[in-house]
């Protein structure tokens, strides 16, 4: 059924939030899976456009039998980690808690699995209905916005160590921005769920995220006061702001790639990084693959993210050419303390830095990231990404899903298995067959003569 037919079928429920509806109406045309062009960032002076010779045309195609098996393995994670009481999915294998970021990975993974034919429509409807109903009933931090973490067993607010927290520990603007991506997909491609999305957003005070056209997160200080802090660094900031901006809110500053942009040389590649360094601002400014991969898979990039993403990819390829070390870096859970590491192209003034969430050295855990490999491969499809895929294509448990990566120094598997890794793999394979989830700019496609 086409998008136009779906809209006619559900037009009564589509009037669910005036701002969201108006924003969608100005951004998208009613053409199946091909939203129209919009401009979401200001003119730029520093970010150079990608040369025409370096633009890879997108060619949609059916998955190969091997790729379909990859997708089925990724879906196995969600089969094994969905709580039957709430419909929520564990962020890490058998760990009963989840953030909105991880819930987004599940929702986008579920949409991908349904469109790829791994999940039938009945199961899709059952799963989606249950998780949306749970999201609509979640307790909120300060009665305003979703807490940073929830128990998947009963939907209670919890701390990051999964202890019950009646008030909550704050909200993440980045995570909320990400969950709006599957909400937008549902509103336009599964309009029967528009009412459910509306019920969720009615509970959320989205305007609390915005201050001076920037995104604000919330935390609790030692005295129990709520702190509001600007959230997001280059890559993540613009990625999350795009979906929030589609609701009609002013996020022009958060969407400005050049507001805090500088370039550094990494493996002889000019890579964009954020001027807001951790020594002056209480947040890491790491350069990793993930936000640029997600921007490509979900939005189809804009001229700015396309250029910055290509540099991030080229730096990783250049490191391999210099050292012979296969490189595909992103942030990942790991199977030992400190349990979460940012493997970066550049962070805190150092190329190829690997750090913990508190900024401590974690270079012994530098890894090839499984999700980064899949994302880079479907977006660029080069001889180098083929080498990466050959390295990790058996890096899974057939009953549990894909492992997070392979440690660079030892060559051993990082056996952490997560919703984010498996959700992004499903999104990547969806991209091969259908292209971006929500296209905000024209996608350069190959003609039959290319």
Q: pLDDT tens digits, residue range 208-227?
A: 999 999 999 999 999 999 99
Q: Identify the pLDDT of residue 53.
A: 76
In Å, what is the CA distance from 337 to each residue of 95, 148, 194? 16, 21, 42
Selected residue with higher pLDDT from 77 and 22: 77
Assign 113 a pLDDT band (cuts: 50, 70, 90).
Answer: very high
In a domain, 275, yes or no: yes
Q: Identify the pLDDT of residue 284.
A: 78
In a domain, 441, yes or no: no
CA 192, 197, 200, 203 dihedral sign is: negative
Say yes or no to pLDDT of 6 above 60.
no
Taking the C-alpha atoms of residue 255 and residue 245, their distance in angstroms, rounded to an integer, is 9
Q: Identify the pLDDT of residue 311.
A: 97
Q: Identify the pLDDT of residue 446.
A: 60
In a domain, 347, yes or no: yes
Taking the C-alpha atoms of residue 405 and residue 418, their distance in angstroms, rounded to an integer, is 11
When pLDDT is averaged across residues 131-159 and rounded to a whole number, the result is 98
Asked whether the beta carbons of 403 and 393 are under 8 A apart, the reply is: no
Percent of the chain's residues with pLDDT above 70 = 88
When pLDDT is averaged across residues 83-103 and rounded to a whole number, the result is 98
Where does 275-381 show beta strands of DSSP type E?
331-333, 340-343, 346-347, 350-351, 354-355, 367-369
Q: Identify the pLDDT of residue 23.
A: 39
Assign 313 a pLDDT band (cuts: 50, 70, 90).
Answer: very high
Selected residue with higher pLDDT from 318 and 446: 318
204's CB contacts (< 8 A; 6+ apart) are 140, 144, 145, 146, 176
Closest CA relative to residue 396, chosen from 100, 69, 26 = 69
Domain count, the chain: 1
When pLDDT is averaged across residues 121-133 and rounded to a whole number, the result is 98
In a domain, 449, yes or no: no
In a domain, 444, yes or no: no
What is the domain extent for residue 298? 3-434
When pLDDT is averaged across residues 161-182 and rounded to a whole number, the result is 97
Q: Identify the pLDDT of residue 278.
A: 78
Assign 440 a pLDDT band (cuts: 50, 70, 90).
Answer: confident
Taking the C-alpha atoms of residue 167 and residue 147, their distance in angstroms, rounded to an integer, is 9
Q: Identify the pLDDT of residue 211.
A: 95
- Mean pLDDT value across the chain: 89
In a domain, 425, yes or no: yes
339-349 pLDDT tens trace: 999 999 999 89
41-56 pLDDT tens trace: 334 447 888 887 787 7
Say yes or no to pLDDT of 191 above 90.
yes
The CATH number of whichever domain residue 43 belongs to comes to 1.50.10.140
- Helical H runs in 85-204? 100-116, 121-136, 173-189, 194-203
In a domain, 447, yes or no: no
When pLDDT is averaged across residues 117-146 and rounded to a whole number, the result is 98
354-400 pLDDT tens trace: 999 888 999 999 999 999 999 999 999 999 999 999 999 999 999 99
88's CB contacts (< 8 A; 6+ apart) are 82, 98, 103, 106, 131, 134, 150, 152, 155
In a domain, 448, yes or no: no
When pLDDT is averaged across residues 122-131 and rounded to a whole number, the result is 98
In Å, what is the CA distance from 203 to each residue of 81, 152, 250, 308, 354? 27, 19, 20, 36, 38
When pLDDT is averaged across residues 12-27 and rounded to a whole number, the result is 38
When pLDDT is averaged across residues 153-159 and rounded to a whole number, the result is 97
Assign 69 a pLDDT band (cuts: 50, 70, 90).
Answer: very high
């Amino acid at each position: 059924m086409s998008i136009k037919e779906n809209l006619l079928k559900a037009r009564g429920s589509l009037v669910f939030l005036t701002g969201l509806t108006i924003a969608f109406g100005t951004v998208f045309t009613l053409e199946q899976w091909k939203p129209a062009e919009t401009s979401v960032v200001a003119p730029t002076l520093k970010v150079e456009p990608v040369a025409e010779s370096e633009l890879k045309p997108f060619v949609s195609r059916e998955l190969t039998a091997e790729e379909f098996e990859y997708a089925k393995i990724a879906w196995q994670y969600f089969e094994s980690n969905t709580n039957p009481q709430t419909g929520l999915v564990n962020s890490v294998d058998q760990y009963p808690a989840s953030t909105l970021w991880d819930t987004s990975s599940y929702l986008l993974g579920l949409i991908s699995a349904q469109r790829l034919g791994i999940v039938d429509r009945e199961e899709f409807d059952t799963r989606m209905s249950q998780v949306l109903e749970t999201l609509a009933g979640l307790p909120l931090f300060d009665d305003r916005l979703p807490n940073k973490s929830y128990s998947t067993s009963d939907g209670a607010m919890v701390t990051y160590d999964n202890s019950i927290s009646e008030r909550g520990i704050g909200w993440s603007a980045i995570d909320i921005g990400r969950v709006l991506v599957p909400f937008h997909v549902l509103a336009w491609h599964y309009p029967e769920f528009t009412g459910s999305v509306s019920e969720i957003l009615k509970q959320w005070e989205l305007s609390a995220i915005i201050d001076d056209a920037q995104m604000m997160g919330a935390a609790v200080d030692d005295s129990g006061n709520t702190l509001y802090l600007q959230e997001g660094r280059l890559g993540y900031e613009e990625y999350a702001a795009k979906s929030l901006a589609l609701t009609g809110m002013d996020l022009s500053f958060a969407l400005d790639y050049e507001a805090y942009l500088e370039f550094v040389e990494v493996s002889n590649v000019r890579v964009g990084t954020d001027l807001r360094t951790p020594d002056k601002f209480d947040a890491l400014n790491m350069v990793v693959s993930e936000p640029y991969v997600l921007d490509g898979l979900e939005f189809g990039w804009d001229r700015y993210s396309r250029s910055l993403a290509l540099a991030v990819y080229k730096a990783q390829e250049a490191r391999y050419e210099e050292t012979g070390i296969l490189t595909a870096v992103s942030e990942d859970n790991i199977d030992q303390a400190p349990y979460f590491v940012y493997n970066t192209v550049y962070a805190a003034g150092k190329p190829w830095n690997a750090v913990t969430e508190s900024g401590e050295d974690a270079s012994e855990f530098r890894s090839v990231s499984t999700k980064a490999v899949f994302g880079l491969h479907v977006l660029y499809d080069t001889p180098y990404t083929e080498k990466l895929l050959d390295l990790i294509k058996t890096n899974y448990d057939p009953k549990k899903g894909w492992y997070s990566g392979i440690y660079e120094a030892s060559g051993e598997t990082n056996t952490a298995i997560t919703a984010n890794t498996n959700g992004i793999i499903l999104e990547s394979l969806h991209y091969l067959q259908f292209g971006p989830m929500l296209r905000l700019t024209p996608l350069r496609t190959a003609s039959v003569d290319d």
